[in-house]
Every structure is written in structure tokens, then in C-alpha cells.
A and B are shown apart, each in its own frame.
Chain A
Amino acid sequence: MNEIELLNWARGPGLAYATIIMVFGLTLRVFEILSLGRAEELAEVRGTGVSDGWKMILKRSLPEPRHWKLITASYIFHVGLLVVIFFFIPHTQLFRDVFGIFWSGWPNYVIDFFTVLSIAAMMYTLVSRFVDPTRRILSKMSDYFAWVVTFLPLVTGYMAFHRLGIDYTTMLAVHILSVELLMISLPVSKLTHAITFTMARYYTGSTNGRRGIQS
């Protein structure tokens, strides 16, 4: 298989498999989680929990002074990822092709800035995972896996755009394949939080609220 065949495979069958696995897997996961329902409250219910649920969604998104460095780094790469995924011009072409809706991408230098920033922030989160003894003990293989599959698309995308390392065609193919790995990992790893984080936070918040726990 030569590089152009690899690229065509990544853009064709590879993308098809990844899309199908991701969409099917995530849908199934959401249904599964929702259908589990909630344990019956045996104690007297102290409220509906609706406002507490919403509050938790917001609260958990706010920075916490205790770990401000780590949280800032996390913020940077989450925002960076969103910007890079949805506003790099070639990506907007893909979304237009898939969803039929188009929005304007941002200039390359902006994307470049966010990519470098995100890469640096992700490196920081990894290093801090190693350095901080508590987090090192808590970290499992699944955490490192999640980090790697998120990091790869960023780095390969950056290298492809700047024509670094191997030739562009191969690099582009590798980049697309790394994204497909990320897509496949979404429903089967901790990365599911990308779509379940609001649900999970609302659940925790509202349960706490019904039990009268201040959150």
C-alpha cells in the first residue's frame, strides 16, 4: 500500500468505520446510562433537585483555586481542542460535507496559536500526573490511553500542516487515522465524558439537592 492508498483508505473506509462505531457506541452508552434510572430516595426528599442539578453543571465548570495551574492547563487544551476541531478551515469543509452546514473557519495563525498552546497544556497535565504522587497513584492505564489518543491528532495535525517529518500525504493519512482512533475510543473510554459530562454533573447535583446536601 502506498501513501496515497493509505490516505484514500483513511478518508474512505477508515472514516466510515470510525464514524459508525463512534455514533453507534455513544448513542448506546447514553441510552444505557439513562435507562439505569435513579435509586429510589428512601429518605424524605428535600426538594426537586432541578436547580441543584443545573448549578452543579455550572459549578464544576468553574476554576477552583486549589489546583489552579492544572485547571488552567485543562481549560486551555479543552478550549484549544474545540477551536482547532471546529474552526480550522479544512475541518469546516469536512463538517459542511457531513452535516451540510457551513460556518467560517478562523485564520491559520489563530489555529496555529491554539494548537501550540493546547500541546503545551496537555504536556503539562501529563507531567503533573507523573510528578504529583497522589495523582500518580490514582492514574491508571486508561488515563494515559485517553491522554495519548487525544494528543496524537493535535501533534500529527500540526506536523502535517507545517510539513514536518515525513511527507505530507503520509502525515495527513496518519493524522486522519489518529482522529479515527480517537473517534473509536470515545464510546469505550473515559473520553465518553465529552458528551456525558453535563448529564453526569446534573445527576450528581440533583441527587445532592434532593438529599439536602449543599453543593
Chain B
Amino acid sequence: MSDNRQQLAGELQRHGISRRTFLKFCTSMASVMALPPAAAAEMAEKLVKIKRQSVIWLSFQECTGCTESITRADKPSLESLIFDFVSLDYHHTLQAASGDAAELAREQAMHDNAGKYILVVDGSIPVKDGGIYSTIAGMTNLDMLEQVAKDAAAIVAIGSCAAFGGLPKASPNPTGAVAVSDIIHDKPIINIPGCPPIPVVMTGVLAHVLTFGIPELDDMGRPKAFYGDTIHDRCYRRPFYDRGEFAKSFDDDGARKGWCLYEIGCKGPTTHNACATIKWNNGTSFPIQSGHGCLGCSEPDFWDAGGFYKAISTGIGNPGQWATGALAAGVAAGLASAYLNKSTKSKAEKNHQEVTIEDMGGKHE
């Protein structure tokens, strides 16, 4: 048996993965990321040859929804294959070790793979009051992130919390939660927002990082292959929007006919994600297909972007109240200025002296 076969290929075989499964995985990854078809074979070649990449997964202020999304499938899915290509050296929820042993594993991996490991973060980082609102093994999230990021090759911020601050950052943000990119500035960061992100998006990006490096990112650090279009761009209900046919409530005739959900709060037009094409639960459906508008969960501050059931064209807050207040203030100021005008006028009238014809030197007849 040759050397490289003893590496990953042997590993694959032990997991019951054949080369064809592997090729199929790479083909679907290449397809979903819109890579040229030839890239699939190249990806397969590379994945077989590389040493299993060390991955350290840090979970901060989060709900484990992102981990659930990537690991929970009722059948072994292609997405979960990614775990066979990496060496997940530290992950709270998935690792067997606990306590000191777990932290030791993390330190060991950091030491052995310094400068080469991938750091995956899910959850936001609280920075208020010295970061005391979330700690692991007595260490604040802030300290742990800075420590582990120092020698990482790249950072993958998974989920809206790690990418943008997410739910913990929602107003009034009691813990001072921030995104990974607010703290780390000297490492490449890939943002994979979503609450949670689509499993194949996480897998696809990881596969890309392993084989071809960091994929093309947009101005918010999101891979363009998945976040290049908005939900609205690819929505199957788009024709209804264009025609102006909107459901007015969740149980009206329009809703039954599957009309556009814009008026009942769909945030699809401003939300960049791949839900409308890749869909959820192994391609079964996505929110709009099941009759509910998009919440915009993969965009920054989605929790504070007005109500979930209010159209994007409405204001955030209470414009009616501001208008009433301004009207009252305007009336008060108007009355005050009217009074001022009046008193100026009456003063002028008081000082007014009639000019008679005599004054002008003429004679009264």
C-alpha cells in the first residue's frame, strides 16, 4: 500500500466511503458553489492527498443551532461527510473529552498545527465588563478567541452571531456582544451568516477552504457563491411581486394562492442567502414556500430591523408617535411665534403717530 493511500483514503475506507462517494460529494459541492465542473475532480484529488486538516471549533454566546444544522440529518448526508475530511480537535458539544482534558486537546492542536489550523467560531463575543458574561474553563470568550486566532490560518465565523453579533447583540445588547470581525483584524475571516446557516453552505465553504483556499467573498466577508443573490432574486413567488399581487394576511385568499408575502413582512428583497435555491431539511422547503415571509436572519441586526410582520418599506420604531409629538411642538412654537408677532405689531401700533396734513405744512380746508 502506497503512503498517500494510508492517509485519507484509508481513513475513508474505514468510514465506508468509496472513491465514487467522494467524487459525488465533490461534484455536488462544485455544483452548489458554481465552480467549473472540472474543479470537482481536482477537489477530489486534493482532498484525498491532504493531511486531515486540524479544526478548532469555539462556541461562544450561541444556542448550538449552527452545530445542530450541520450535524443533524436523519440519514447520513453528503454534508456530514465533511467531518471525515477534517480533524475536529476541539468542539464542546461533539468531543468526548471534558474539563482539563478538553482544554488540553485544544492547546495540543494549537501547538502541533500552529499557523495551519482552521478556527471555526459560532456565537458572538461579549466584551462588556471585561467579557465576564461568557467564560469557558475560567477563560473569557474574548481571551480565548484572541489566543486561538493568533496562530490560525483562517477563521470561519459560522452563524449570524459570530458573523454579525446576531441575537445576543440585539438592542439593548446587555453583554456588549460583538462579531468575530470586530475583534480580529489580522486574519482572513469568512462569514457564513444565517440563524442557522444552511448545512451545505457550511460544508461547501469548508471543502473550498481545504482544497482551493478562501473562496471569493463580498464586502461583508460572505462567500459570493452562496450570498451573491438575495432570497427575493431567486424566489419562486417573485412573479407575484412583479405583478403587485400580495397576500394581506396569513389566511386570506392571496395567501392561499401563494402570492408574494412582502406586505406581511417578508425581508427577502434585502436578505442575501441561498435558501430559495438550496432550501432546507435536505431540500424539502424554505420559509416562503411554507407560507411565511423571510425574517432576514442572515443579515446584520435582523432582530432590530423593525417587526418581522411589517413590510420593509415601513419605518423602524414609531413614526406616528414622532409625527404627533412634532405636531404638538410645532403648534406650541407656532402659537408662541404668533404671540410674538402680535406683540411686535401692537407695540408698533402703540408707537405709531398719525401724520396730519398740518405736519406736512399744508392747510386744512
Contact = CB atoms under 8 A, between A and B. Distances in A.
Q: Do chains A and B touch in the complex (CB under 8 A)?
A: yes
A94 B270 contact: no
Nearest to A91: B313
Given A89-B263, A90-B313, A107-B244, A32 B323 contact: no
Nearest to B219: A2
Contacts of B345: 37
Given A107-B244, A108-B243, A4 B299 contact: yes
Nearest to A96: B314
Contacts of B234: none
A133 interface: no
A93 B320 contact: no
A16 B319 contact: yes
A99 interface: yes
B220 A23 contact: no
Given A31-B334, A36-B341, A97-B310, A11 B316 contact: yes
Contacts of B305: 4, 7-8, 11
Interface in A44-98: 89-91, 93-94, 97-98
Q: Majority SS of interface residues in chain A?
A: helix
Given A11-B306, A16-B322, A169-B270, A4 B334 contact: no
A8 B316 contact: yes
A115 to B, nearest CB: 14
Interface string B284-319: 000000000000000111001110001111111101
B311 A93 contact: yes
B262 A90 contact: yes
Contact of B312 (A2, A16, A24, A90): A90
A201 B212 CA distance: 72
B73 interface: no
Given A2-B219, A19-B322, A32 B315 contact: no
A19 B326 contact: yes
6 contacts: A8-B301, A16-B315, A23-B327, A28-B330, A90-B262, A91-B313
